[in-house]
Amino acid sequence: MERKLFSFEKLEAWKNAKLIAVKTLKLTLNFPDSQFSAIANQMRRSAISISSNIAEGQGRLEGKEQSQFYKFAYSSLMELLNQLILCWDMNLITEEEYNELRLLIEKTAFQLNGLNRYTRSKIPSQIPKI
């Protein structure tokens, strides 16, 4: 039986956000339990939030609402980038892990900005026509 793909599953930004979540979840499994559980938990929440907000935005019918969820996704992406930088500074991750996830974050940020710009361009102007 062939599964139906929902609209968000077709978006490259969502596919990359999902990959970011998977990589982040796997990466944080290697953190020392006691000392760094707070940052690991926050990274997991941020990473999961990115793809979740993209999916939720696609479920909204109005472009203004969609745009808001793409902004939430972008904010969570930047939060994760900050946490990734902190992990690098604390030597919790390797250079390879840092670079791989950072490049994926940069690519997804670019895609989210494009998706948001496109969505906003479809919102009717609030200026009344005479």
DSSP per position, 34-63: HHHHHHHHHHHHHHHHHHHHHHHHHT-SSH
Structure tokens at 32: 């020392």
User: Whose CA is closest to 107, among 37, 31, 23?
Assistant: 23
Contacts of residue 9, Cβ cutoff 8 Å, sequence gap at least 6 = 15
Calculate ∠ Cα 92-94-97, nearest 5°.
105
Mean pLDDT of 101-113: 98
* Angle between helices 63-89 and 12-28 in degrees, nearest 10: 30
The mean of the pLDDT values for the chain is: 93
**CA atoms in the 13 A half-sphere facing the CB of 59:** 6
Per-residue pLDDT, 126: 60
Q: What percent of the chain clears pLDDT 70, i.e. is strictly above it?
A: 95
Nearest CA among 47, 35, 120, 126 for reference residue 83: 47
Highest mean pLDDT range out of 1-5, 29-33, 54-58? Answer: 54-58
pLDDT above 70 for 127? no
pTM confidence score: 0.90
Domains of the chain: 7-121 (1.20.1440.60)
H or E stretch covering 65: helix 63-89
- Do 14 and 69 meet the contact criterion of CB atoms below 8 Å apart? no
What digits encode the pLDDT tens for the residues 40-52?
999 999 999 999 9
